Amino acid sequence: MTTYIYICRLAPMKLRKSPQTSIVLAEFLHGAHDWKYGYDISRNTGLKSGTLYPILMRLAERKLLATRWETPEAGKPPRHMYKLTADGVAYAREHAPSPVRRRLAQPAFSGVKHS
């Protein structure tokens, strides 16, 4: 029973290491100290919003990702921004794919202009 309880407590700590998660981590490693926007990450990684955001949520839940709302300018609604924490950077360096594999990812909304 003790082992069971231990496993139950440990299980939520694990982060599913899907290829998509690795791609997101690699994207964050590009300018690890910069805050990034969700749409930009989606375009750069080729991941759809329905795939990307659950990954961001999981990373944030495990304290690997810092989030904050952009300071709003007049007439503009604030945007949500993301940056890896120190633990996140260490985790990403360990689990992110090589640059060659990363280049294989296609942009999600190709042909869409970004202002």
Partner 1 sequence: MTTIRMTMIRRLALKVLNAAARHAAPGTRDWVTAMSREMDFIENDWAALWWALGSTRILFKRQHVPLADLSGVPRAAQCLVNRIRVRTRNGCVATTIVFVAYIGFIFTLPGSMQRVRSGLVAVSMLYMAYQIYARRAGASPLENDSAAWAGFYRTELERQRDFHRGLWFWSRLAVSLPSFILFCVGGAIARPADARDYDAMLAVFILLGIWSVPLNLGRARKYQRQLDDLEALQK
Question: Which residues sit at the interface with partner 1, rule CB under 8 A?
Answer: 1, 4-5, 8-9, 11-12, 37-39, 42, 48-54, 56-57, 61, 76-80, 109, 111-115
In the bound state with partner 1, the residue whose beta carbon lies nearer, of 1 and 100, is 1
Residues 28 and 83 sit within 8 Å (Cβ to Cβ): yes
**Residue 54 or 99 with smaller CB distance to partner 1:** 54
Is the CB of residue 97 less than 8 Å from the CB of residue 26?
A: yes
Q: Whole-number minimum distance, CB 93 to partner 1, in Å?
A: 26
CB of residue 100 vs partner 1: minimum separation in angstroms?
28
Q: To the nearest whole angstrom, how small is the minimum distance from the Cβ of residue 99 to partner 1?
A: 26
Are 78 and 29 in contact, with CB atoms under 8 Å apart? no
- Which spans in the chain are helix H? 2-10, 19-29, 38-45, 49-61, 86-95, 99-103
